Amino acid sequence: MQLASVHFRQRASGALADAHLQRTLERFGSGFADKRAAARQAYGEGAFEELRDACAVIRDRALADLDAWLLRFEEEATRRGASVLWAEDAAEACARVLEICARHGLRKAIKSKSMLSEEASLNEALAAAGVQPVETDLGEYILQLAGEPPSHIIAPAIHKDLGQVAELFVKHHGRPKSDDIAQMTREAREMLRPHFLSADLGISGGNFLVAETGSVAIVTNEGNGRMVTTLPRVHIAITGIEKVIPTLEDLSTLNRILPRSATGQEIENYFSILTGPKRAGDTDGPEQLYVVLVDNGRTRLVGSVLQEMLRCIRCGACMNHCPVYQTVGGHSYGWVYPGPMGSVLTPVFQGLENALDLPQAATLCGACHVACPVKIPLPELLRSLREMQTQRGLRPWSERAAFRAWAFAAARPRLYALATQFAARALKWMGGRRGRIARLPLAGRGWTEGRDFPAPEGKTFRELYRGGQRHKT
């Protein structure tokens, strides 16, 4: 997927001006968040918080000895007949997959949803090598027809409405237009079925890697995942190295929180555990099973102030609760991962200088942290990234100058009192009789682009406080 995160501001402005997109985002609204809230209530709010604690501990335990658990995973998976391959970056991940295709003479790949595959631009690499990639998750299939990247990690086509999907189906399926969802789903299934039956390669992601059994666990809501992992003769699971967890018991705990946090479901529709290829006597399953473990910047997080980000189980709850994501949509973020988790991951994976506005693309309201099933302190991580930006001189000179001036004054109480008195009087004067300022100067300009700034009374907080105390005595 092409990187466009440096253009966040322009893309977000475009999204805000796109009335169609705004209507679609409005319809999406708080749907997933409401479902999560209901699932949390049904589970018991206290018990749900205990579950969040337990899941955060499991993820931290795995990350504390990441190398050891990965080696254990490799050993156990290999013992059960799978081949484990390692890739340092996206290019190497694609190379590993293409080597497998060449070794087995593979020509068509059916895929279930994999964010790592998006990260590595795997579809483009496959197509360039003459291997046809076919997305089979309904949302991903729609986007493949549209030639667009996903805009949400669990509902990739959430930015498209029914009419747009119907148009796409007419164009690509050549059948009469329908806007009946059941009929459209049936139509997509009929289009995909021949691909399922003729593909020689299946590609999936992996929600978790279980070290003690060398298994890949896959969570889906559509049956495509099962077909992708069992029908073709070769299967490749491609996933990030941070997905490893020690035991099946850990998997069972994490899987209690994942669907509830993502879509509010008690349990997902399909939950598959791949352990080795087809054995003698098995009626289905791939003859060859490969697991490609990809770093692509993840080890940079280990031991850093951002390590907690590696706990992420890709549930999407942070974006479902983020007022910024819900207003500008996923494509504004300009890379694979949108919302608060993307605002941390994109600068780490792609370089802070290539995602200048993402750490600022948050109100720091804390809703993402409260919703995160593994308690990732996203607002704190975003603040750390902002600090790094300032340390590396990556913020505009005007902002840096303003903070320097503020720090200078804040360290000198008298000067600070004088400056704030002047500012309060000036703002009151600017508000005029209406008491509202239509256009703030300098750094405040953006704030008044879409609304008025209520002018203060002309007194500083200290003056008001002193006044209040006098009143009491």
Judged by the rule CB under 6 A, the positions of this chain that interact with ligand SF4 are: 312-318, 341, 371-374, 376
Determine the 3-state secondary structure of 296 from DSSP. Answer: coil
Question: 250 exposed, middle or buried (CB, 10 Å; 0-12, 13-18, 19+)?
Answer: buried
Q: Which is nearer to ligand SF4, 202 or 316 (CB)?
A: 316
Beta carbon of residue 217, minimum distance to ligand SF4 (angstroms, whole number): 16
Structure tokens at 282: 């098995």
Beta bridge partners of 453: 437
Q: Which is nearer to ligand SF4, 21 or 153 (CB)?
A: 153
Beta carbon of residue 147, minimum distance to ligand SF4 (angstroms, whole number): 26
The closest of 372, 374, 344, 348 to 359, measured between CA atoms, is 344
Q: Which is nearer to ligand SF4, 286 or 340 (CB)?
A: 340
DSSP-derived pairing of the beta strands 201-204 and 234-240: parallel
Beta carbon of residue 387, minimum distance to ligand SF4 (angstroms, whole number): 20
Q: Which is nearer to ligand SF4, 211 or 376 (CB)?
A: 376
| Number of residues written out for the chain | 473
Q: Which is nearer to ligand SF4, 199 or 317 (CB)?
A: 317
Q: Which is nearer to ligand SF4, 32 or 73 (CB)?
A: 32
Q: Which residues contact 463 (CB under 8 A, 6 or more apart)?
A: 421, 424
Beta carbon of residue 76, minimum distance to ligand SF4 (angstroms, whole number): 25
Structure tokens at 371: 């919703």
Question: 421 exposed, middle or buried (CB, 10 Å; 0-12, 13-18, 19+)?
Answer: middle
Q: Which amino acid is at 53?
A: D
Determine the 3-state secondary structure of 416 from DSSP. Answer: helix
Beta carbon of residue 181, minimum distance to ligand SF4 (angstroms, whole number): 27
Q: What is the DSSP string of 351-389?
A: -GGG-TTGGGS----SHHHHH-TT---HHHHHHHHHHHH
Beta carbon of residue 316, minimum distance to ligand SF4 (angstroms, whole number): 5
SS3 per residue for 160-215:
CCHHHHHHHHHHHHCCCCCCCHHHHHHHHHHHHHHHHHHCCEEEECCCEEECCCCE
Beta carbon of residue 53, minimum distance to ligand SF4 (angstroms, whole number): 14
Beta carbon of residue 262, minimum distance to ligand SF4 (angstroms, whole number): 8
Q: Which is nearer to ligand SF4, 62 or 98 (CB)?
A: 62
Cα diameter, the chain:
89
Beta carbon of residue 84, minimum distance to ligand SF4 (angstroms, whole number): 25
Q: Which is nearer to ligand SF4, 141 or 337 (CB)?
A: 337
Q: Which is nearer to ligand SF4, 63 or 313 (CB)?
A: 313
Distance CA 215, CA 230 (A): 15
Q: Which residue has the tokens 């991962």?
A: 337
